[in-house]
Amino acid sequence: MAFPRRSTRYKLAAVRRWLIAAGCFTAAALLFTAQVRGDYWYTGRQLTWPTVLAISLIDWELWTLLSPVVLLLAGRLPLSAPRRVMALAVHIPASIMMAAGKLVAEAAIVRSLVNPGRLPNAVGKLYLTILIYWAIVAAVRYADQRRVARERELRAAQLETELARAQIDALRMQLNPHFLFNTLNAISGLMRDDVEAADVMLAQLGELLRSTLETEGRPEVPLAEELQWLRTYLAIQQTRFGPRLQIAIDVADDCRGTLVPTLILQPIVENAIRHGFSVTPGPGRVSITARQTAGTLRIDVADEGPGAPQPIREGLGLRNTRSRLRALYRSGGSLVVRSRPDGRGTLSRLDLPVRTVSSP
């Protein structure tokens, strides 16, 4: 019968299993030493503890010598469909022959130590020895099932991560053109009134797109880096609206190293400017604050506009933001948009789990 060739990984696993089996058999020899002494005492023979220990070791360490063969057969002929019949056809005679050979060797070695020796009960001892063979086979089968289950879980986790990353990339591909079209539309409108300002906005847009490319393939970045990108975006908006748009950023120092989804703040701030600040006459303020509390990073974006309409109708930017949060954190991240408690504008609250670069 030709067995398939196995990899180095399998060979290492086989060695590890043999070492575990050897340890178990040695422990069993020590555990049953007292029983062996009791058996001899019951037959009227008093043996010293070293002799009794040697007899017990002979009984169990023979399995240490035989176990590589059993492990090899159990590994290459597992008791699983569709090869179960062939496996049983090999294991049944192998267990009987190996048990018989083991008992003959044991009796010969024990007789050389304790003449006339303690010949084992043929029927009972054979039955127990066969059971040990099948216990090894069952242990290998259980270990293989656990290994396969772990590999499946690992593959499932990897596929889930890849799916989430692909989903995030797809959402970003939707978001970036959305932002780009809005900015180009603003530049187009500004061209009729202030060509110089429109030229500045084009240069700022180029810088913004360059920094966007640097975040490609990074689902999360430190908040400090996200804020640096956001300031470039806000510079475009301030060029557009002039001193009428006031920006206040208040971020605690312990929040700057916390990871946030890449480009997560831009659609929220854009929403505050479009639907809060720009629809009201006169100057207005958009404030951004970040604090940590109880393992949560809370980022608030507030404007001084008319407040959140009821019911809230979310555009592409906020819908994508929620989708990205679900893909990255499941239920661990949230975005709430509501009117401010004082009635002066809209508050967008982003809650994220606190994670840093060194976090798992």
Rounded distance between C-alpha atoms, residue 346 and residue 25, angstroms? 71
| Shared domain check, 224 and 148 | no
| Shared domain check, 142 and 238 | no
User: Is residue 95 a contact partner of residue 130, using CB atoms and an 8 Å limit?
Assistant: yes
Number of H helices, E strands in the chain: 9, 7
| 161 within some domain | no
Rounded distance between C-alpha atoms, residue 23 and residue 26, angstroms? 5
Residues in the chain predicted with pLDDT less than 70, given as ranges, are: 1-11, 13-14, 39, 42-44, 81, 115-124, 156-179, 211-217, 312, 316, 358-360
Helix, coil or strand: residue 292: strand
Helix, coil or strand: residue 216: coil
User: Is residue 231 a contact partner of residue 268, using CB atoms and an 8 Å limit?
Assistant: no
Q: How far is CA 10 from CA 16, 77, 117, 305, 342, in A?
A: 10, 14, 41, 66, 67
Q: How far is CA 207 from CA 106, 201, 228, 265, 269, in A?
A: 82, 10, 12, 18, 19
Q: For residue 230, which of 185, 173, 286, 171 has the smallest C-alpha distance?
A: 286
Domain extent at residue 308 = 194-353
Strands 334-339 and 284-293: unpaired
| Shared domain check, 229 and 117 | no
Count the domains in the chain. Answer: 2
| Shared domain check, 248 and 134 | no
**Torsional class of 221: left (φ above 0), alpha (ψ -120 to 50), beta (otherwise):** beta
| Shared domain check, 45 and 118 | yes
Rounded distance between C-alpha atoms, residue 47 and residue 42, angstroms? 11
User: Is residue 315 a contact partner of residue 262, using CB atoms and an 8 Å limit?
Assistant: no
pLDDT of the residue at 291:
96
| 175 within some domain | no
Rounded distance between C-alpha atoms, residue 312 and residue 291, angstroms? 26
| Shared domain check, 89 and 202 | no
| 185 within some domain | no
pLDDT of the residue at 1:
45
Q: How buried is 319 (Cβ within 10 angstroms: 0-12 exposed, 13-18 middle, 19+ buried)?
A: middle
| Shared domain check, 128 and 225 | no
| 184 within some domain | no
Report pLDDT digits (tens) over 339-360. 888 878 899 999 999 998 765 5
Rounded distance between C-alpha atoms, residue 153 and residue 173, angstroms? 30
Among 152, 185, 209, identify where a domain stops: 152
| Shared domain check, 92 and 23 | yes
Rounded distance between C-alpha atoms, residue 43 and residue 36, angstroms? 11
Rounded distance between C-alpha atoms, residue 263 and residue 337, angstroms? 18
Considering only the C-alpha atoms of the chain, give the largest distance between any 2 of them, rounded to a whole number of Å.
116
Rounded distance between C-alpha atoms, residue 64 and residue 248, angstroms? 74
| Shared domain check, 340 and 224 | yes
| 322 within some domain | yes
Which helix (H) or strand (E) segment holds residue 296: the answer is: strand 296-302
Q: How buried is 112 (Cβ within 10 angstroms: 0-12 exposed, 13-18 middle, 19+ buried)?
A: exposed
pTM passes above 0.75: no
- List own/partner pairs for 17-23 with CB under 8 A and 24 or more apart: 17/71, 17/140, 17/143, 18/67, 18/68, 18/71, 21/63, 21/64, 21/67, 21/71, 21/136, 22/64, 22/67
| Shared domain check, 224 and 136 | no
Helices 8-31 and 122-191, packing angle to 10 deg: 140
| Shared domain check, 215 and 144 | no
292: domain CATH number is: 3.30.565.10
Q: Which two tokens stand for residue 341?
A: 């408690």
